[in-house]
Amino acid sequence: MLPDILLSSRHYLLVVIRQVLEARFEHKWSWAELKANYDTIGMPALRTMQRWCKSFGREALRWLGIVQETLARQDSTSTWLDPQGEVLKVQTPAEALLVASEHLLAWGKTQWVEIVGYGRNERMHFLWLWGANMGLGRLV
């Protein structure tokens, strides 16, 4: 059993992976910006960050469909499901999954008392745990 802060087959903590994915897909950092900001001892190499982003981008559409389906079944009032709302602001499936994960977390907080204290920074953590329980396989 791995602690929740680790992903199987990964050498970095979830918080590091989350920071890289958010920087690339939400803040639209270039590879040069990622390298400049994470070029310190103990941080991932640029190639590792690129591999994470490629994997996340490749899996995002599949995961997003399942997240949206879950929200439609369990929380049909989610603003994420409004075709005139937030969905219009995103440009890629990876960015959309990051935004949708906030809505999934909001729904999850109504279901599991253990995550009531989770904030925005824990949304990816919840997404990974939720996805593992759904049998979705690896996201990154």
Query: pLDDT category, 10, cuts 50, 70, 90?
Result: low
The confidence score (pLDDT) of residue 121 equals 93
**Which residue carries 């929380």 as its tokens?**
75
12-66 confidence digits (pLDDT tens): 888 899 999 999 999 999 999 999 988 777 788 999 999 999 999 999 999 999 9
The whole-number average pLDDT for the span 1-17 is 65
What percent of the chain stands above pLDDT 70?
A: 92
- pLDDT tens track for 61-94: 999 999 999 999 998 888 888 888 877 788 899 9
Residue indicated by tokens 């997240």: 67
User: Using CA atoms, how far apart are residues 108 and 30, in angstroms rounded to an integer?
Assistant: 32
For residues 16 and 48, what is the distance between their CA atoms, to the nearest angstrom?
11
Contact of 138 with 102, CB cutoff 8 Å:
no
Residue keyed to tokens 């690339």: 24
pLDDT over 70 (residue 5): no
pLDDT digits over 92-104, tens only?
999 999 999 999 9
DSSP track, 117-139: T--GGGHHHHHHHHHHHTT----
Shortest CA distance to 98 belongs to which of 50, 69, 42, 57? 57
pLDDT of 2 higher than 60: no
The strand ranges marked E within 22-111 are none
Kindly give the interhelix angle for 123-133 and 14-25, rounded to the nearest 10 degrees: 110
> Would you state the pLDDT for residue 8?
52
The reported pTM is 0.87
Angle (nearest 5°) at CA 41 between 37 and 45: 65
Question: Residue 115: is its pLDDT beyond 50?
Answer: yes
